[in-house]
Amino acid sequence: MLEAGTKAPSFSLPDQNGIYHTLEEYRGKKVILYFYPKDLTSGCTKQACGFGELYPQFTEKGAVILGVSKDSVASHKRFEEKYALPFTLLSDPELEAIQAYDVWKEKKNYGKVSMGVVRTTYLIDENGVIEKAFGKVKAAENPAQMLEEL
Protein backbone atom coordinates (compact mmCIF):
# COMPACT_ATOMS: atom_id res chain seq x y z
CA MET A 1 0.00 0.00 0.00
CA LEU A 2 1.26 3.48 -0.79
CA GLU A 3 1.85 5.92 2.05
CA ALA A 4 0.12 9.24 2.71
CA GLY A 5 2.22 12.12 1.39
CA THR A 6 3.21 10.15 -1.73
CA LYS A 7 2.39 11.54 -5.19
CA ALA A 8 -0.46 9.41 -6.52
CA PRO A 9 0.62 7.36 -9.57
CA SER A 10 -0.85 8.46 -12.87
CA PHE A 11 -3.10 6.15 -14.89
CA SER A 12 -5.19 6.05 -18.04
CA LEU A 13 -8.02 3.52 -17.82
CA PRO A 14 -11.37 2.99 -19.58
CA ASP A 15 -14.62 3.40 -17.65
CA GLN A 16 -17.81 1.35 -17.92
CA ASN A 17 -18.59 3.19 -21.20
CA GLY A 18 -15.13 2.67 -22.71
CA ILE A 19 -14.10 6.33 -22.14
CA TYR A 20 -10.56 6.76 -20.86
CA HIS A 21 -9.87 8.67 -17.64
CA THR A 22 -6.60 9.93 -16.15
CA LEU A 23 -5.90 11.03 -12.61
CA GLU A 24 -4.73 14.40 -13.95
CA GLU A 25 -8.21 15.30 -15.22
CA TYR A 26 -9.40 15.47 -11.60
CA ARG A 27 -6.83 18.05 -10.44
CA GLY A 28 -8.48 20.60 -8.18
CA LYS A 29 -10.85 17.99 -6.72
CA LYS A 30 -10.51 15.42 -3.97
CA VAL A 31 -10.53 11.90 -5.39
CA ILE A 32 -11.69 8.78 -3.59
CA LEU A 33 -9.92 6.02 -5.48
CA TYR A 34 -11.06 2.62 -4.29
CA PHE A 35 -9.80 -0.74 -5.46
CA TYR A 36 -12.05 -3.76 -5.15
CA PRO A 37 -11.73 -7.44 -6.12
CA LYS A 38 -14.72 -8.20 -8.37
CA ASP A 39 -17.93 -6.79 -9.84
CA LEU A 40 -21.27 -8.24 -8.69
CA THR A 41 -19.89 -10.02 -5.61
CA SER A 42 -21.40 -9.55 -2.17
CA GLY A 43 -18.79 -7.30 -0.52
CA CYS A 44 -18.05 -5.29 -3.65
CA THR A 45 -21.76 -4.70 -4.23
CA LYS A 46 -22.23 -3.48 -0.63
CA GLN A 47 -19.29 -1.10 -1.03
CA ALA A 48 -20.39 0.23 -4.44
CA CYS A 49 -24.03 0.67 -3.37
CA GLY A 50 -22.84 2.46 -0.22
CA PHE A 51 -20.85 4.92 -2.33
CA GLY A 52 -23.90 5.24 -4.60
CA GLU A 53 -26.25 6.07 -1.72
CA LEU A 54 -23.87 8.69 -0.31
CA TYR A 55 -22.90 10.04 -3.74
CA PRO A 56 -24.81 13.36 -3.38
CA GLN A 57 -22.91 14.14 -0.16
CA PHE A 58 -19.58 13.35 -1.83
CA THR A 59 -20.36 15.66 -4.76
CA GLU A 60 -21.49 18.41 -2.35
CA LYS A 61 -18.00 18.23 -0.84
CA GLY A 62 -16.45 18.43 -4.32
CA ALA A 63 -15.15 14.86 -4.28
CA VAL A 64 -14.99 12.39 -7.16
CA ILE A 65 -15.40 8.63 -6.65
CA LEU A 66 -13.50 6.20 -8.87
CA GLY A 67 -13.84 2.44 -8.39
CA VAL A 68 -11.14 0.21 -9.91
CA SER A 69 -11.03 -3.54 -10.50
CA LYS A 70 -9.52 -5.83 -13.10
CA ASP A 71 -12.97 -6.64 -14.50
CA SER A 72 -13.76 -5.79 -18.12
CA VAL A 73 -15.54 -2.68 -19.38
CA ALA A 74 -18.58 -4.88 -20.17
CA SER A 75 -18.62 -6.32 -16.63
CA HIS A 76 -18.45 -2.80 -15.17
CA LYS A 77 -21.35 -1.75 -17.42
CA ARG A 78 -23.50 -4.64 -16.10
CA PHE A 79 -22.54 -3.74 -12.51
CA GLU A 80 -23.37 -0.06 -13.05
CA GLU A 81 -26.73 -0.82 -14.68
CA LYS A 82 -27.83 -3.48 -12.19
CA TYR A 83 -27.28 -1.17 -9.20
CA ALA A 84 -27.73 2.26 -10.89
CA LEU A 85 -24.24 3.30 -9.76
CA PRO A 86 -23.78 7.07 -10.28
CA PHE A 87 -19.97 7.12 -10.33
CA THR A 88 -17.12 5.98 -12.57
CA LEU A 89 -15.86 2.39 -12.58
CA LEU A 90 -12.45 1.91 -14.17
CA SER A 91 -11.38 -1.30 -15.87
CA ASP A 92 -7.77 -2.39 -15.23
CA PRO A 93 -7.31 -5.91 -16.70
CA GLU A 94 -3.59 -5.25 -17.30
CA LEU A 95 -3.19 -4.31 -13.60
CA GLU A 96 -1.64 -0.92 -14.54
CA ALA A 97 -3.12 1.08 -11.64
CA ILE A 98 -3.68 -1.96 -9.41
CA GLN A 99 0.08 -2.63 -9.31
CA ALA A 100 1.08 1.06 -9.28
CA TYR A 101 -1.05 1.54 -6.14
CA ASP A 102 0.38 -1.64 -4.59
CA VAL A 103 -2.94 -3.44 -4.07
CA TRP A 104 -2.13 -6.67 -6.00
CA LYS A 105 -1.20 -9.07 -3.23
CA GLU A 106 -1.08 -12.70 -2.25
CA LYS A 107 -4.38 -13.70 -0.66
CA LYS A 108 -5.41 -16.82 1.23
CA ASN A 109 -8.93 -18.14 0.82
CA TYR A 110 -9.89 -21.41 2.48
CA GLY A 111 -6.22 -22.38 2.57
CA LYS A 112 -5.73 -21.69 -1.14
CA VAL A 113 -3.16 -19.02 -1.99
CA SER A 114 -3.70 -16.80 -5.04
CA MET A 115 -2.96 -13.28 -6.23
CA GLY A 116 -5.72 -10.71 -6.11
CA VAL A 117 -6.80 -7.17 -5.32
CA VAL A 118 -6.77 -6.30 -1.63
CA ARG A 119 -9.68 -3.93 -0.96
CA THR A 120 -7.96 -0.56 -0.50
CA THR A 121 -9.16 3.06 -0.59
CA TYR A 122 -7.05 6.15 -1.19
CA LEU A 123 -8.05 9.75 -0.55
CA ILE A 124 -6.12 11.89 -3.04
CA ASP A 125 -5.96 15.67 -2.57
CA GLU A 126 -6.53 18.41 -5.15
CA ASN A 127 -2.84 18.35 -6.15
CA GLY A 128 -2.64 14.61 -6.81
CA VAL A 129 -1.00 13.67 -3.51
CA ILE A 130 -2.25 10.76 -1.40
CA GLU A 131 -3.78 12.33 1.71
CA LYS A 132 -4.86 9.09 3.38
CA ALA A 133 -4.60 5.39 2.61
CA PHE A 134 -6.81 2.65 4.01
CA GLY A 135 -5.90 -1.01 3.52
CA LYS A 136 -8.08 -4.09 4.04
CA VAL A 137 -11.15 -1.89 4.38
CA LYS A 138 -14.52 -3.28 5.42
CA ALA A 139 -16.71 -3.06 2.32
CA ALA A 140 -19.96 -2.03 4.01
CA GLU A 141 -18.34 0.59 6.27
CA ASN A 142 -15.93 2.16 3.78
CA PRO A 143 -18.28 4.70 2.08
CA ALA A 144 -19.39 6.31 5.38
CA GLN A 145 -15.78 6.23 6.63
CA MET A 146 -14.59 8.09 3.51
CA LEU A 147 -17.35 10.69 3.79
CA GLU A 148 -16.18 11.40 7.36
CA GLU A 149 -12.58 11.74 6.14
CA LEU A 150 -13.63 14.53 3.79
The answer to whether 142 and 122 are in contact (CB under 8 A) is no
Known catalytic residues are 44
Those residues whose C-beta lies under 8 Å from the C-beta of residue 38, and which sit 6 or more positions away, are 44, 69, 71
Torsion, Cα 75 67 51 41, to 10 degrees, reads 40
β-pairing, 130-135 vs 120-124, is antiparallel
